[in-house]
Chain A
Amino acid sequence: MQWLIFLFCLLAFMGFAIAKPNHYKEVLGKRPKGNITSHLNIASWLCLIGSLILSIVTQGAYGSVQFIGYMTVAVLLLVAIFATKPHYFRSLFYLVSFSIVLCSLYWIII
C-alpha cells in the first residue's frame, strides 16, 4: 500500500513534468501539440489527489504527513533525472506503470 501511494504520487509528478513544453521536448523529441498539456495536467492532478485520498483513507492524519514526504522524494527523483539522464524518463514511466499494476494486484489478492 505504501508503494502504491508513492508510485501514484510519482506518476502524478511525472505527468506534471512532461506537461511542460521543454521537458516534453527533452523526452519525446518534439513539441507538444494541441491541448495535450492540459490533458496531462488534469490526469496528473487526478493521480495526485488519488494518492492523497488513498493515503488518508488507509492511514489517517499520519498518512497526510507521509504523503507530503513522498511528494518531496518524487520531485527530487525527477529533478535528478532531468539534470543527468533525461532519456531515462521513458524507462521510469514503464517501470512505474508496471509497478503500479503489480502493487494493485498484490493489494487486491493479498
Chain B
Amino acid sequence: MRESFFRGMTWLHTWVGLLVCWLLFLIFFAGTASFFRHEISLWAQPATHHLPQYNHAFQQQTVTKSIERFQHIAPTAESWRIELPTERRPSLLLMYSEKPEEGERRGKRHSEYLDPITLDALPEFRDTKGGNFFYRLHFDLHYMNAITARWIVCFATLFMLIALISGVVIHKRIFKDLFQFRSKKGLRSWLDAHNVSSVIALPFHIMITYTGLVTLIFMLLPQPAQQRYEDKQTLRAERYPLLATAPATGLPLQELALNKALDHYYTNSGNAPLRRVVISSPNDASATIKLYANAGRAVQDDPPSWMYNAASGELLKTHNVTLSGAENLYGGMIALHTGRLAEPTLRWLYFIAGLAGCVMIATGAVMWAKRLRQKLKRDEKPGFGLKLVESLNLGTIMGLPAATAAFFYANRLLPTELVARADKEVLVFFIVWAIVAIAACYKSDRLAWQLTAKVNALAWAGLPVVSMLTIEGNLVSYLIHKQWVLFGFDALAIGIAVSFLVQARKLGRSQVTPAAPSRRSQREVKI
C-alpha cells in the first residue's frame, strides 16, 4: 500500500510537472524579472536616469503644480490622475482621459512623464514597455486574448501546486538531505540540484503558487461572488467603492478645495506619503478628489484611500483604511505575491527565491530527459517524445535568457523615432526566442547547449558595453553617482554572463569524460 502510494505520487509529480514545465518556466522567469519591474523600467528609460531621489516633503507642491498644468492642457478632461514619484520610479506621471465620444465606453487617455520638481517634459523620452513587459508576460502571456491567457496560466499554476505537494510527499529525506549536493555524480547531481532548489525556497514556492491562484480567484471560482452579488457591477462597486461616480450636476465647479482635502488627509493619515491623486469630472460641481496613500511596508495590496468633495473639501468616503479580516487576508496574500511592499533587501531575497524556482523547474525538465536517455540501449534511437522534450528544454531554458538580452539590446539600439517602438522591442524578444527554439528542434545535444551558453554569455556581457556606448553613464559612473539600481542592472548582466561562461566551460569539460555529465550547469541555467 505504502509503496504503491509513493509510486503513484512519483508518477503524478513526474507527469504533472513535465506537462507544464516549459510554460511554468516562462511564468517563473517573467515573474522573477517582474520583482524588478520598476528597476527595469528605469534602466530602459534613460531620460529618467538623472532625476534625483524625490523628497516626499515636496508632494503638496507637486500636486498643486500638476493641477495647474492640467487646468492649462486639459481643462475639459473627464478625469485627471497624478502618479507621484516613488522610491522606485523617480518621474512624475500625469494622465488624463477625455470625455468619451458617442458609442465609446471610455474616453481617449493621454499620459506624460515629467520632472517632478520643475514639471518640464523629459527630453528624449523613448517609447518602451520596460519592466511592464515582463509583468504582463507573467500572467497575460502575449499574442493572445488576456482572459484565455489567464486561464492557461491558472491551470499551469494549479499543476504547479500539485507538483509541489506531490514533490514534498515523495521526497523522503527532505530534512536529512537538506544541505546535500553531491557533485559529479551524473543523474544523482541533477536530482540533488532539483531537491536543493525546491527545498531551500519551499515556503516561497508554496506561497507564490498559492497566492498566484488567489490573484485570479474571482476568475477561477466566481460562484461565491455570484451568489452574493447580482452582477459584476455590484461586486465591483463594493470592492472599489471609490470608483463610483456621482451623476453630473451640469454646474461648473467654483473652486477646487485641494488644500483643505490635503490638510485633512495629512492630519488623519499620520503624514503618510501619497502615491496617487485622482480628480474625477474636474469641471463639474460633483467633482471628487481621491487621495491614495503609499502603503509602504504594510502587508496590504490596495492602498488606503480617501475621497473628498472637490467643492467643499469634505471627506466623503474612505476605503482600505481599516480592513476587515477577510480583506486583510486577501490583500495580504496579494501583497505577498506581488512583493510591492519589499524594500531592496527583501526584493533581492524575492529575486533569489524566484531564481531558485526557475532552477527547480529547469532541473526537473532536464532530469526527465536525462533519465530517459540513460535508459536507452546502445543502438536504440531516441523516440519522438524524448527528442521533443530535449528540444523544448533547450529552446525554453536557454532561449528565454537570450530573448531577454535581445529585448534589452532592442531598447538601446532601436531608433527612438521609430513608430510603435515598444511593440518592436517585444517583437525582437519573440524573434530571438523563436530562432533559438527552431535551432533547438534541429539539434539539442551537448554541443548545442554549449553553443547557446556561449551566445548567452556573450550577449549578457555585451549589454553593459552597448548601454555605455549608446547612452550617458556606465558602470563606473553609476558607482560614483550612487545610482544603485542602474549599477545593479549592469552588474547583474555581467554576473549572468559569467554564470553562462562557467556553464559553457563545464559542458566543454564534461565532454571529455562522458561518465560525468555536467552538474553545476543547472545552477547557471537559472537566468
With contacts A72-B352, A79-B196 taken as known, whether A66 is within 8 angstroms of B345 at the C-beta atoms is yes
Name which residue of chain A comes closest to B189, CB basis. Answer: A83
List CB contacts (< 8 Å) of A6-31 with chain B.
13, 16-17, 20, 23
Q: Residue on A with the closest CB to B183? A: A83
Binds A, one of B91-99, B134-142, B198-206: B198-206
A72:B346 contact, CB within 8 angstroms: no
B residues near A61, Cβ cutoff 8 Å? 298-299, 332
Q: Check if B181 sits within 8 Å of A72, measured CB to CB.
A: no
Q: Which B residues touch A76, using CB under 8 A?
A: 196, 200, 352, 356
Top 7 nearest A-B pairs (CB, nearest first) are A69-B349, A83-B181, A75-B200, A61-B299, A62-B297, A17-B179, A72-B201
A82 on the B face (CB < 8 A): yes
A2 to B345, CA, bound (A): 9
Instruction: Point out the residue from A69, A79, A80 that lies within 8 Å of B353, measured CB to CB.
Output: A69
**Contact of A68 with B200 in the complex, beta carbons under 8 Å:** no
- State whether A72 and B356 are in contact (beta carbons under 8 Å apart), knowing that A62-B341, A79-B200 are contacts in the complex: yes
Look across to chain A and name the residue whose beta carbon is closest to the beta carbon of B345: A2
Considering the complex, which residues of chain B in the window 197-248 have a beta carbon less than 8 Å from any beta carbon of chain A? 199-201, 203-204, 207
Name 13 A/B residue pairs within 8 A (Cβ), A-sorted: A59-B297, A62-B299, A66-B345, A66-B346, A69-B204, A71-B203, A72-B352, A73-B352, A75-B179, A76-B196, A78-B179, A79-B181, A79-B200
Given contacts A66-B346, A75-B200, contact A82 B179 (CB under 8 A): yes
Quick check: B346 and A65 within 8 Å, CB to CB? yes
Number of interface residues of A (CB under 8 A): 24
Contact A79 B179 (CB under 8 A): yes
Q: Are B179 and A72 in contact (CB under 8 A)?
A: no
Cβ–Cβ contact B349 & A72, under 8 A: yes
Closest chain B CB from A84 CB (angstroms): 8
Q: Which of B149-185 contact A (CB under 8 A)?
A: 176, 178-183
Complex Cα–Cα for A22 and B309 (A)? 70
Q: Which residues on B sit within 8 Å (CB–CB) of A71? A: 200, 203
Interface-central residue, B182, B346, B356, by most chain A CB under 10 Å: B346
A71 to B201 alpha-carbon distance, docked (Å): 8
Separation of A80 and B336 alpha carbons in the complex (Å): 28
User: B409 at the A/B interface (Cβ < 8 Å)?
Assistant: no
Q: A65-B336, A66-B349, A69-B353 are in contact. Are A23 and B179 (CB under 8 A)?
A: yes
Q: Chain A nearest CB: distance from B503 CB in Å? A: 16
Residue B306 at the A interface, CB < 8 A? Answer: no
Cα-based distance from A66 to B343 in the complex (angstroms) = 10
Of the residues B178, B196, B199, B299, contact of A65 by C-beta under 8 Å: B299
- Bitwise, B302-333 to A at CB < 8 A (1) or not (0) is 00000000000000000000000000000010
Cβ < 8 Å to B, chain A residues 70-104 = 70-73, 75-76, 78-80, 82-83
Q: How far is the CB of B207 from chain A (nearest CB, A)?
A: 8
Further 4 A-B residue pairs, CB within 8 A, beyond A59-B297, A79-B200: A68-B203, A71-B203, A72-B356, A79-B180
In the bound complex, how far is the Cα of B12 from the Cα of A106, in angstroms? 52
Within 8 A of A (CB), among B335-349: 336, 341-342, 345-346, 349
- Asked whether B292 is an interface residue with its Cβ less than 8 Å from the other chain, the reply is no
| B-contacting residues, A47-62, CB 8 Å | 59, 61-62
From A17, A20, A59, A69, residue with most partner B Cβ within 10 Å: A69
